[in-house]
Structure 1
Amino acid sequence: MRTCVLVAEDDTMQAELVRRYLEHEGHTAVVAHNGRAALEQARRRRPDLVILDVMMPDMDGLEVCRTLRRESEVPVLMLTARTSEDDLLLGLDLGADDYMTKPYSPRELMARVRTLLRRTRDGSPWRDGVLHVGDLRVDPRGHRVTIGAAQVECTRGEFEILSAMAAQPDRVFHRSQLLQEIHGLDLGTTERAIDMHVMNLRKKIEADPRRPARLVTVFGVGYKLTDGTGGRRRAP
């Protein structure tokens, strides 16, 4: 079955290059050159993936991503010339699944596309039951995270990280291992995205994000998810 990829890029030459690469790999490519046209195409065509440039006329990519996330769970790969950590964090916080800075290699872009589509299509081995880590519950089927009775709203990327780690609590994950679980890639540029996702998750699941007790750093190695007790028994 051919997949449909929406390319939202105001640079016509860049959009044409991406379209040719996508079609060479067997995808149907739909191109939009501004934010409003991108939203219209997304609503009409219901693509399997959106490649979304941040800097576009009429409506920028961040606003498009925000609107898409209110309406669907379509994977979003953002492209931007901005390189600051704040820009990266904002894009991920709005629900982008992956993030590439310009200039980029079209071959790397296609690798990211393949991985995002595979992740969406195939699912993952931890999706068959509700995962419990202390009072944190991750329901992969219902795409739901709760702490006690409180629901935690997560973006797709945050949810994938939490699901992978909740399936193996107390295991230390290298950033590259989380990339393989989520994106299937081991790219230094993307490892920063893992750190941003972890930072966002801590704001949502930790009582004090500056002193995390659940999603903890193992210095020089990576991250692990614990029950938050620090080895102490909870009172019954």
Structure 2
Amino acid sequence: MSYTARVLIVEDEPKIAQILVDFLGMHDYSTEVIADGLLVVDLVKQSPPDFIILDVMLPGKDGLTICKEIRQFSNIPILMLTARVEEIDRLMGLGFGADDYVCKPFSAREVVARVTTILRRTHQFSNTNEHCLCFKNIKVTPALHQCIVNGKELALTPIEFRLLTALIKKPGRVLSRDQLMDTCYTDQRIVSARTIDSHMKNLRQKLSDAAQGEELIQAVYGVGYKV
């Protein structure tokens, strides 16, 4: 599967937010909308998106302040939306750490194009499945043998990493123990189903701990496992 970048839309005008959701969805981005400025920073810390579209004028906390706070702990690409056309506001937005800005009213197609361009430039997104794989709050980068859960790196053994990668490549599909054996042991060694179950038990526990108790891998009795 190709990795679907997740875009957080911080916008308190429902019509504008929906337009962005629709157009980003048409280009295979997944989206999440939040309208309250006070909730943004904590959300980004708990579940970092790949990209943030951030309105300047928000209830609770303005976008420039949010951008500045996010930049204290993350380099997630940020595109500012503003109805202010004065050059000083644009410069302030970029000076606070934003990657780009768009003035309202805007073309939704232009916003999508900016998102794609910035993600490519910052190496946060690739259309190749060798780059990143994603399921909920899990990001797996096979080339780096890296697993990120809720923004934090999770240490996995090589077998655990292969198991997780195999499952995330086919979300919703049940993989049998035999299929998982073939994926994890390419040298055709003979491995019992109990060995797979043992590795899977350890992997599920690590993911559960990292995801604060959420069950990310499900066991399907008599068949195998799925995410």
Superposition TM-score tier, normalisation by shorter sequence? 0.5 to 0.7
Q: 1:63 aligns with which of 62, 65, 68?
A: 65
Residues 54-84 of structure 1 deviation map (CA, whole Å, 9 limit, x = unaligned): 0000001011001010010001000000011
- State the Cα distance separating 1:17 from its structure 2 match: 1.1
Q: Does 1:105 align with 2:135?
A: no
Q: Does 1:28 align with 2:7?
A: no
Question: Matched residue pairs, number?
Answer: 123
Q: Which runs of 5+ in 1 are unaligned?
A: 124-236
RMSD value over aligned CA atoms? 1.4
> What is the SS of the residue equivalent to 2:71?
helix
Question: Which letter does structure 1 place at the counterpart of 2:53?
Answer: I
Distance 1:40 1:20 in 2: 25
Check 1:122–1:38 CA distance in 2 against 1; reply closer, same or farther (3 A cut).
Answer: closer
Distance 2:20 2:38 in 1: 20
Check 1:98–1:24 CA distance in 2 against 1; reply closer, same or farther (3 A cut).
Answer: same
- State the Cα distance separating 1:36 from its structure 2 match: 1.7
Question: Which letter does structure 2 place at the counterpart of 1:42?
Answer: V
Partner of 1:78: 80
Distance 1:39 1:15 in 2: 18
Q: 1:48 aligns with which of 36, 47, 50?
A: 50
- State the Cα distance separating 1:40 from its structure 2 match: 2.7
Distance 1:55 1:11 in 2: 10
- Moved beyond 3 Å, runs of 4+: none
Q: Which runs of 5+ in 2 are unaligned?
A: 126-227
Residues 30-50 of structure 1 deviation map (CA, whole Å, 9 limit, x = unaligned): 110021222232122211110
Distance 2:82 2:20 in 1: 14
Partner of 2:120: 118
Residues 81-109 of structure 1 deviation map (CA, whole Å, 9 limit, x = unaligned): 00111101111110100011000000111
Check 1:13–1:67 CA distance in 2 against 1; reply closer, same or farther (3 A cut).
Answer: same
- State the Cα distance separating 1:114 from its structure 2 match: 0.6
Task: Report which of the two structures shows the higher radius of gyration computed on alpha carbons.
Answer: 2
> What is the SS of the residue equivalent to 1:46?
coil
Distance 1:112 1:51 in 2: 10
Contact 2:50-2:124 within 8 A present in 1 as well = no
Percent identical among aligned pairs is 42
- State the Cα distance separating 1:20 from its structure 2 match: 1.3
Distance 1:117 1:99 in 2: 14
Q: TM-score, structure 2 length as denominator?
A: 0.52
Contact 1:32-1:38 within 8 A present in 2 as well = yes
> What is the SS of the residue equivalent to 1:30?
strand
- Larger relative CO (CA 8 A, sep 6+): 1 or 2? 2
Question: Which letter does structure 2 place at the counterpart of 1:112?
Answer: R
- State the Cα distance separating 1:23 from its structure 2 match: 1.4
Q: TM-score, structure 1 length as denominator?
A: 0.50
Question: Which letter does structure 1 place at the counterpart of 2:88?
Answer: D
